[in-house]
Amino acid sequence: MNNTILVYATRWGATTETAKEIIRTIKERFEIDIDLVNLKDKRTKNPNITPYDNVILGVSVAKFRWAKEGKRFLKDNREKLNGKKLFVFVSSGGAGDAYKANDMEKYEHLQKKWIDNTLKKYNLKFTSRKALGGRYVGNFADRGDNRDWGVIRNWAEEIGTIISSGN
């Protein structure tokens, strides 16, 4: 029941850092080991998720789009994901901005747009989801990193509680 994998697709590294913090928090608090897979790595771009009960998917959202590897993972694994607990997070500067501005209406809109609507396309349901902040790069680098590590750790604890409960 605790076999868990975290797969992720990052563009500039924020999703990788977030994924590692989620794993660290869950392992430290719940003593659950989680396998980590980078979907952009050619050696692991199509992981076998059959032996896992729980799948955590992290995807970078930039220019209003998911990293293509995240969508490919959903498409390739939609049948295998049914019956598993699916936890999904996106790294998004826009979501981080809305959250920090306490604009919960916009924040919830972005969660629905980037997570709920994407999963709906593949006929998938999530156990839990979270739009997390990200790191701005390029022309927007002056906006910095708007991740809230407390929110990330709290969500990781929520995941750990769900996994460890076996429900």
CATH number for the domain that contains residue 113: 3.40.50.360
- Give the whole-angstrom CA distance, residue 32 versus residue 134: 26
Polymer length of the chain: 167
**Predicted confidence (pLDDT) at residue 44 exceeds the cutoff of 80:** no
Task: Please say whether the beta carbons of 88 and 18 come within 8 A.
Answer: no
Q: Residue 151: which domain range?
A: 4-165
- Give the whole-angstrom CA distance, residue 95 versus residue 6: 21
**Predicted confidence (pLDDT) at residue 83 exceeds the cutoff of 60:** yes
Amino acid in the structure at residue 101: A
pLDDT the model gives residue 142: 60
pLDDT tens by residue, 103-158: 999 999 999 999 999 999 999 999 999 988 877 665 555 666 778 899 999 999 99
113 secondary structure, DSSP code: I
pLDDT grade, residue 34 (50/70/90)?
very high
Sign of the CA dihedral running 162, 4, 2, 150: negative
State the CB neighbour count (10 A cutoff) for residue 167.
9
Domain count, the chain: 1
pLDDT the model gives residue 94: 82
**Predicted confidence (pLDDT) at residue 23 exceeds the cutoff of 60:** yes
Question: With the CA atoms of 68, 112, 157 and 164 taken in that order, what torsion angle do they form, in degrees rounded to the nearest 10?
Answer: -80
